[in-house]
A and B are shown apart, each in its own frame.
Chain A
Amino acid sequence: MPQEHIEEYLEAIYDIAGKKGTAKTTEIADRLKNAPASVTEVFQRLKMKGFVRYEPHKGVSLTTKGYKAALKMKRKHRLLEVFLDKMLHLPQEYIHEQACKMEHTLTDETETALCKTLKGPAQCPHGSPIPPCNLDVKNCQECLAEQTTSLEKREKDIIAITSLKHGEKAKIAFVRGGGGVMQRLCDLGLTNGTEISLLRAAPLHGPVEICVRGCKLVIGRGIAEKIFVQKT
């Protein structure tokens, strides 16, 4: 099975099933315009490769390996969308499909170079968040200042604060963006390595409340999505 095929499937499962849930065979078939029978067959193969958990009639869900691979594709896809929109000024309705085709041939080095040229964007033109890279950096300034692409890869898995469950604890690992907001977060005690816990999140992409150094802070969704943590 070609790599491109696998990646398209993983992305489709990611979109439909989300992080924890499962996707039904029919949903995936509808999405990729394939027959349910051939979809089931692909699921079996993905399962063998360790990308998904699949049981007939129960649906399919991503393993950690599959989830990471899907995120990587999402990152490439959305970065390409930003590139096609901001740099090439192509029409909105065109960029999604074009990015779909380009994402599979994009190497990791090109991905990093693209991210730097675009100055580390946080969202695609449609407003979806771009997953962070897996380079060993603490924030975007450092990467942007670096002349080469020789940064080492990050060992640990990091997620945005907004992806934590209520009451879950984690350590600050990476803050995207820069300038005044980053300095302010730092001044309020959100320095690298600080333990925080997510207290609650308001519905419909509202703000989150976190506990840091014994204080409670409310942080808007847009900012919170740029603060990445490592679960403890």
Chain B
Amino acid sequence: MDVDLVIALAGNANVGKSSIFNQLTGLGQIIGNWPGKTVEKAEGMLLHHGKHIKVIDLPGIYSLSTYSQEEIVSRDFIALEHPDVVVNVVDATALERNLFFTLQLLEMNTPLVIGLNLVDVAKKKGITINEKKLQKILHTPVVPTIATKGIGVHEIVDKALEQTSRPPPEKNHAIHYGPEIETRIEKLERALTGVSIGYPLRWTAIKLLEQDSEIVSKVSEKHPDAIVAAKILASEISQIHKEPCATVIASERYAVAVRIVKEAQTIKESEKPSLTERFDAFSMHGIYGYALMFVIMLSILMFMSLFGGWLSETIQDLFESIKPGMSGFWGELLWNGGVVGFYATLSIALGFILPFYLILGFLEDSGYLPKIAYLMDRPCHTIGLHGKACMPLLLALGCNVPACVGCRIMETKRDRFIAIFLSTLVPCSARTVVILGLVGVYLGFQWALLLYVFDFALIFLIGRALNRFLPGMSVGIIMEMPPYRLPSGTVVIKQAWNRFKPFLLAALPLIVLGSIIIETMRLTGVLALVSDALSPVTVTWLGLPAFTGFLFIFGILRKEAALVLLMSAAGTTDIRSVMSPVQMIVFALVIMIYVPCIATIAALIRETGWKRAGFITFVEIGLAIFIGGFTFRILTVIM
């Protein structure tokens, strides 16, 4: 398809870029009220007045002097891929900080449209912004928007189209530094003439004065003299101000932002603390905050256990009650393999996975996740991480794959590796299915809870070990705290559906197929052969029934499949008749710890490389077998 125009959405974290992207393209980028959920750029198409427009959603970025990996994605796209128009999404409730980035974009001479988002929230806070004035000061079109309701998003595209038909501005006068800096910028510009590294001259000069490492290395290839000149000029500036040149320039940009805000914005201060502020004080309190977090986590688990158990039993009973009298090879194959596989998958999907995604979406959208990052920052330090890591780790409760990718919000390689390793140990919804659906249903909630506690203790211990043996230490958290928001029902449902759809499309057919294969193998006696080959580990060491061997192998594909296939392999849905309580616990425990599923391994390879992915996988297989065997021996004595 021909693309007429490329527009990129850029701006600070958590200002609503992904919401605007979803409104424009109709796609389902994951959105939520916490900084750092978008770590990769996303693309979508839009047909607007007969034009094919490619829309790019970029991760949040605070400054072109980047700090974490996802910011580099944004900066490189804006600076090097030259989108036709950059739509700078700006949070109207925090104009000053947002303009800091806008001013940097203007310095780059990027064709720009400003989407002034969250104007409704700003209004509630008593903030009014005169967008006409803002437009005039910045010489850039400003469109007020309410992204969640789709207000103003198409006007942005109209303005973007207008921008492309206009010649790019020769020079933007929005930002002027003090004379002592301006003269030095000019000097450096003169020294740089004739050198082209793809960026505007003035911007390159400013970045050189800031000693931006990437720009310095790019220019030094072609023009080493300019680097020396920049160093001298920068040290002159820092001597005048008694501050490094980069912070002088940042301060000046902020001074400009303050002036603009003063002109374009009026605030009516409200005296009494708002409801969200009072809720902040409670949920971030030194005692109540932790108590609340504990209660929330425990009640999610309890609800899931009760509801999931009840629903999956109801679905099973429903199907068993309509079971026609089938017998013989084909009859058993069709029923045990196909139908049981189908309804067992359906019951775990509707009973456990969908409700969890709804709850997760609710938590994400409410803005509670960053509060957990705040509360857990101190505990995280004992495992070599900082509080931000809690957000991908919580995401891992749904699925480990996006969690591994989400660990890009960690600033250093070391932090990222630890966070990724630990997130593969977090019981995802598939493992929750096995824990709650097997141990929870047959042995009671307390045993399932014990498994969770054990898993979190294991995560803690491995974190400690990694922290001990990996050189370096965590840089510490610097994170924006978004305000609470009442989650929108449609957004939560849509989000849950977007996450659930791949499960229905990929897992359901796979598991049904798997259970038909297993049933065939069971009926033909092949299953016994495979199981015998694995029996030294499964039977002798772990004390499990022989037929579980094959499940562990199939479980690499989908972990929730292990439970469904357990029923197929056992030839009954009443697990109690084929497994003792100890065996159920050991089985769930091993499933919980051993090797991440194939999709997670693929994500690990992509994020950390073959070596580290292999390391994580083998450590987890070893741990699972080791711990499983010991648990079996200990539990047989005490139970």
Contact flag A186-B251 (CB < 8 Å), given A203-B286, A206-B378, A209-B284: yes
Nearest-Cβ distance from residue B25 to partner chain A, whole angstroms: 29
The 7 closest A-B pairs by CB, nearest first: A220-B476, A187-B63, A206-B378, A216-B481, A191-B251, A203-B286, A220-B477
Nearest-Cβ distance from residue A187 to partner chain B, whole angstroms: 4
A139 CB within 8 Å of chain B: yes
A145 to B93, CA, bound (A): 39
Contacts A183-B246, A215-B480, A223-B477 known; 11 new A-B pairs at CB < 8 A: A142-B238, A142-B244, A184-B65, A187-B100, A189-B100, A192-B251, A206-B378, A207-B374, A220-B386, A220-B477, A223-B475
Using a Cβ–Cβ cut-off of 8 Å, how many residues does chain A contribute to the interface with B?
40
**For residues 98 through 140 of chain B, which have their beta carbon under 8 Å from a beta carbon of chain A?**
100
CB atoms of A222 and B476 under 8 A apart: yes
CB atoms of A215 and B243 under 8 A apart: no
A191 to B235, CA, bound (A): 19
**For residues 202 through 232 of chain A, which have their beta carbon under 8 Å from a beta carbon of chain B?**
202-207, 209, 213-223
Pick the contact of B481 from A182, A194, A203, A218 — CB < 8 Å? A218
B96 CB within 8 Å of chain A: yes
A215 to B375, CA, bound (A): 19
CB atoms of A218 and B377 under 8 A apart: yes
CB atoms of A189 and B254 under 8 A apart: yes
Contacts of A185 in B (CB 8 A): 478
* Majority-rule SS of A interface residues: mixed
A142, A185, A213, A217 — most chain B CB neighbours (10 Å): A213
CB atoms of B478 and A184 under 8 A apart: yes
Task: Mark B residues whose CB is within 8 Å of A.
Answer: 62-63, 65, 67, 93-97, 100, 235, 238, 242-244, 246-247, 250-251, 254, 281, 284, 286, 370, 373-375, 377-378, 386-387, 411, 475-481, 483
CB atoms of B374 and A209 under 8 A apart: yes
Contact flag A202-B478 (CB < 8 Å), given A183-B246, A187-B100: no
Using CB atoms, name the residue of chain B closest to A189. B97
Pick the contact of B244 from A139, A184, A213, A216 — CB < 8 Å? A139
Contact digits for A163-190, partner B, Cβ 8 Å, 1 yes 0 no: 0000000000000001011111111110
CB atoms of A141 and B244 under 8 A apart: yes
Contacts of A186 in B (CB 8 A): 246-247, 250-251
CB atoms of B478 and A181 under 8 A apart: yes
Nearest-Cβ distance from residue B575 to partner chain A, whole angstroms: 44
A207 to B411, CA, bound (A): 17
CB atoms of B476 and A223 under 8 A apart: yes
Contacts of B373 in A (CB 8 A): 218
Contact flag A214-B94 (CB < 8 Å), given A183-B246, A204-B378: yes
Contact flag A214-B97 (CB < 8 Å), given A204-B378, A219-B478: yes
Contacts of B476 in A (CB 8 A): 181, 219-223
CB atoms of A217 and B96 under 8 A apart: no
Contacts of B97 in A (CB 8 A): 188-189, 213-215
Nearest-Cβ distance from residue B328 to partner chain A, whole angstroms: 65
Pick the contact of A223 from B96, B250, B478 — CB < 8 Å? B478
Contact flag A200-B281 (CB < 8 Å), given A187-B65, A207-B374, A215-B480: yes
Pick the contact of A214 from B93, B375, B411 — CB < 8 Å? B93
CB atoms of B242 and A191 under 8 A apart: no
Contact flag A192-B243 (CB < 8 Å), given A187-B100, A214-B93: yes
A192 to B62, CA, bound (A): 18
CB atoms of A218 and B478 under 8 A apart: yes
CB atoms of B374 and A218 under 8 A apart: yes
A137 CB within 8 Å of chain B: yes
Nearest-Cβ distance from residue A64 to partner chain B, whole angstroms: 27
A150 to B96, CA, bound (A): 37
A181 to B67, CA, bound (A): 8
A138 CB within 8 Å of chain B: yes
Contacts of A216 in B (CB 8 A): 480-481, 483
Contacts of A137 in B (CB 8 A): 242
Contacts of A217 in B (CB 8 A): 478-481
A217 to B251, CA, bound (A): 18
CB atoms of A207 and B480 under 8 A apart: no
Contact flag A205-B243 (CB < 8 Å), given A220-B476, A223-B476: no
